[in-house]
Amino acid sequence: MPYVVTQSCCADASCVVACPVNCIHPAPGEPGFGSTEMVYVDPAACVGCGACATACPVGAMVPDAALTTKQLPFLELNAAYYDAFPHADRTPVALVPPQRRLARPGPFRVAVVGAGPAGLYTADELLKHPEIAGVDVYDRLRTPYGLVRHGVAPDHASTKLVTRLFEAIERQPRFRYFLDVEVGAPGAVTLADLKAHYDAVVYAVGASADRGLGIPGEDLDGSLPATALVGWYNGHPDQQDLTVPLGAMSNPSGRAVVVGNGNVALDVARVLARPVDALERTDLAPGPLEQLRASTVREVVVLGRRGPAQAAFTVPELIGLAALDDVDVVVDADPALLTGDDQRSTLLREIAERPVDPASGRRRIVLSFAVSPVEILGEDGRVTGVRVVRNRLVGGADGDVRAVRAEATDETHVLDAGLVVRSVGHRGRPVAGLPFDERTATVPHNRGRVEPGVYVVGWIKRGPVGFIGTNKTDAQETVDTLLDDLDAGLPAPSGTDADIAALVARRHPDAADLAAWQRLDAAERERGAQAGRPRAKITDVAEQRAVATPAEPRRRRSLLRRTLSATA
Ligand code: NAP
């Protein structure tokens, strides 16, 4: 009974290391690892032991006999990888790589700025070394887990299972949180403070800005970056006042347009198009859920500037979208572009051939190809539509997808829409005190080193690409470099562990620790359970602080006194 890797694969390779027969590829160090859309189980070699399923942080490993009908395409997808890349050599990979020991005994302390996946994988890698006496993880928000909380789509519950791994990381004795602390903000703890109190500082601050389209009308009301919309429905405190035209008055066309066709664009399209009963069982933020309940949007059009074979969404995500039975998925592409025999084109051709029942009443997602927005149209400052130009595809004759370019023709049309979401990728923001490459919007580094003692990891290091698990390998590289520098000798910090805790307490009286986060987490789960949901996110920072504050010790004492005197 071979196991099959399914849609929620995070590609962090935990399964690869756990597999006793080396049947999961590409493995770390093999070509394609780090850029592949997922890892694949070789059905001919798998012994069905289930070690991979135990190791997988996101529940992506499923025995073939237990696949749902919707997961069946993954059977073929896994096997197809081995048709293309046979792995004749079944020598097991180094299951437990020898533990590196530092030449210098420490104890060393490290600050990690950013509590998203990159920051937490980094903390985990560091804490494998006994010479690291402590890792303090800072985050400007009161809630950790970065894009797993505020980016992963609410209807991707299995992807969110990776938080169990993060919970295990944060519970380690030498781990400490300083949440609700924005390093480098006015009046806040600075990089200089961190350098004075830690042996090393690692920035894992992601890429929280968005890229613009550079076309007229982008500033109209109703034209939004996906970063804001995704933050809104995922309960990011900064986005809860976002105005999203979903109703008949603000969006009379009943249409939303998403520009770009990466995985984020598909997430946005699903959330806007799926019926609310599919969303109310998720952790979608309570306020946005009510607005989505009242939504009159009937159609979401996803604009891809290039062809089906060049679409930025991954095949596993497309399989997941095609399997939805609560929305219709329609492909709008010149049939001449759908003739490819690559996996994307094949699947899109199958979707294009499906009959759509116009009387079903289902909302629809239209995947359009070879089209670009040239102007966002509006009236009275609000979006009313998008002027779209048809593109011809040029270049890429040698089969290199990246080399195919879109060139505008003079054929244009207008799509009426009250909401336009640009989902054309994230962009890193400059970090106070660090160099910044404006072109890539990343911090220049050498294997994670910005300068001895200061490091980067995650999207601020490599740009906004990859899956949650990609950060594990990335963190291993940065930590390796950091350990090299510790071994070579870095200046010892002047301040102690207690000094930095006191400084944070002085400058950030509201700072939260692990216990505070656990109280907030428990409150959200409890509220969610009452409504039959995994959690009801608390999105107001003042309320987050109030919920996470422990009960007054004095009140508890007097309650205890009253109880004792009552029973005396
Ligand atoms: P992305 O994958 O880089 O996709 C960006 C899209 O924007 C592409 O379709 C790109 O087209 C298009 N684009 C860029 N500039 C444009 C312009 N001026 N006009 C029109 N289209 C333009 O970015 P993303 O969707 O934000 O995702 C970021 C990363 O997170 C990706 O690695 C993604 O796989 C990952 N992610 C994964 C999941 C998951 O695994 N479930 C979910 C969400 C995100 P071209 O291809 O033509 O440049």
The predicted pLDDT at position 568 comes to 43
Which of 259, 356, 357, 361 lies closest to 301, judged by CA?
259
Give the percent of the chain with pLDDT over 90. Answer: 81
Cα 263 to ligand 1 centre (Å): 6
DSSP 442: B
The predicted pLDDT at position 8 comes to 86
How would you class 539 by CB atoms within 10 Å of its CB: exposed for 0-12, middle for 13-18, buried for 19 or more?
Answer: buried
Buried b / exposed e across 319-334, counting CB within 10 Å, b at 16+?
bbbeebeebbbbbebe
Give the percent of the chain with pLDDT over 70. Answer: 95
For 40-87, the pLDDT digits (tens) are: 999 988 988 888 998 999 999 999 989 999 999 999 999 999 998 887
For 187-240, the pLDDT digits (tens) are: 999 999 999 999 999 999 999 999 999 999 999 999 999 999 999 999 999 999
For residue 23, give the 3-state DSSP assignment: coil
The Cα–Cα gap between 28 and 39 comes to 10
The predicted pLDDT at position 553 comes to 59
Q: Is the CB of 160 under 6 A from ligand 1?
A: no
The Cα–Cα gap between 41 and 236 comes to 36
Residue 171 burial (CB count, 10 A):
10
For residue 26, say if its preceding peptide bond is cis, omega within 30 degrees of 0. Answer: yes
Q: Is the CB of 227 under 6 A from ligand 1?
A: no
Q: Are 344 and 352 in contact (CB under 8 A)?
A: no
Determine the average pLDDT of the residues in 454-469. Answer: 95
**Strand duo 426-427 + 299-303: pairing:** unpaired
The predicted pLDDT at position 561 comes to 57
The predicted pLDDT at position 550 comes to 79
The predicted pLDDT at position 524 comes to 97
Question: Measured at the alpha carbon of residue 344, what is the angle toward residues 343 and 350, in degrees to the nearest 5?
Answer: 90
How many helices (DSSP H) and strands (DSSP E) are in the chain?
19, 21
Closest residue by Cα to atom 21, ligand 1, is 260
**567 pLDDT tier (thresholds 50, 70, 90):** very low
Query: Token pair of 544, please?
Result: 């987050």
Closest residue by Cα to atom 36, ligand 1, is 263
Cα 489 to ligand 1 centre (Å): 41
The Cα–Cα gap between 374 and 376 comes to 7
Determine the average pLDDT of the residues in 270-291. Answer: 97
Candidate of 147, 223, 305 to mutate for ligand 1, largest count of ligand atoms within 8 Å of Cβ? 305
Task: Give the position of tokens 């995922």.
Answer: 234
Q: Is the CB of 263 under 6 A from ligand 1?
A: yes
Q: Is the CB of 312 under 6 A from ligand 1?
A: yes
The Cα–Cα gap between 503 and 545 comes to 20
Beta strands, E only, 188-326: 200-203, 209-210, 223-225, 255-259, 299-303
pLDDT at 94 over 70: no
The Cα–Cα gap between 133 and 428 comes to 31
Q: Distances in Å between the alpha carbon of 134 and those of 91, 107, 174, 343, 486?
A: 37, 8, 5, 46, 14
Q: Is the CB of 260 under 6 A from ligand 1?
A: yes
**1 pLDDT tier (thresholds 50, 70, 90):** confident
For residue 264, give the 3-state DSSP assignment: helix
The predicted pLDDT at position 439 comes to 96
The predicted pLDDT at position 33 comes to 87
Which of 311, 312, 307, 300 lies closest to 391, judged by CA?
307
The Cα–Cα gap between 351 and 364 comes to 13
The predicted pLDDT at position 88 comes to 76
Closest residue by Cα to atom 4, ligand 1, is 262
**Strand duo 200-203 + 108-113: pairing:** parallel
The predicted pLDDT at position 183 comes to 97
Cα 249 to ligand 1 centre (Å): 31
Cα 260 to ligand 1 centre (Å): 6
For residue 107, say if its preceding peptide bond is cis, omega within 30 degrees of 0. Answer: yes
Which of 407, 403, 381, 458 lies closest to 122, judged by CA?
458
Q: Supply the angle between the helices 541-548 and 514-530 in degrees, to the nearest 10.
A: 100
The Cα–Cα gap between 536 and 275 comes to 19
The predicted pLDDT at position 96 comes to 60
Q: Is the CB of 117 under 6 A from ligand 1?
A: no
**93 pLDDT tier (thresholds 50, 70, 90):** low
Q: Is the CB of 372 under 6 A from ligand 1?
A: yes
Determine the average pLDDT of the residues in 544-550. Answer: 89
Query: Token pair of 131, please?
Result: 């010479």
Buried b / exposed e across 353-376, counting CB within 10 Å, b at 16+?
eeeeeeeeebbbbbbbbbbbbebb
Q: Is the CB of 305 under 6 A from ligand 1?
A: yes
Which of 233, 336, 250 lies closest to 297, judged by CA?
250
Determine the average pLDDT of the residues in 253-274. Answer: 98
pLDDT at 399 over 80: no
**15 pLDDT tier (thresholds 50, 70, 90):** very high
**427 pLDDT tier (thresholds 50, 70, 90):** very high
Which uninterrupted H or E stretch holds 524?
helix 514-530
Mean pLDDT of the chain, nearest integer: 93
Which of 64, 57, 74, 63 lies closest to 18, judged by CA?
57
Polymer length of the chain:
568
Distance of CA 516 to the CA centre of its chain: 24
pLDDT at 493 over 70: yes
The predicted pLDDT at position 95 comes to 56
Is-above-0.95 flag for pTM?
Answer: no
Indicate the residue type of 376.
Answer: I
Determine the average pLDDT of the residues in 288-312. Answer: 96
The predicted pLDDT at position 385 comes to 98
Q: Is the CB of 38 under 6 A from ligand 1?
A: no
Q: What is the DSSP string of 44-85?
A: TT-----HHHHH-TTS-EEEGGG--GGGTHHHHHHHHHHHHS
pLDDT at 92 over 80: no
The predicted pLDDT at position 195 comes to 98
Which of 437, 432, 498, 492 lies closest to 462, judged by CA?
437
Q: What is the DSSP string of 144-182?
A: --HHHHHTS-TT-TTGGGHHHHHHHHHTSTTEEEEES--
For residue 528, give the 3-state DSSP assignment: helix
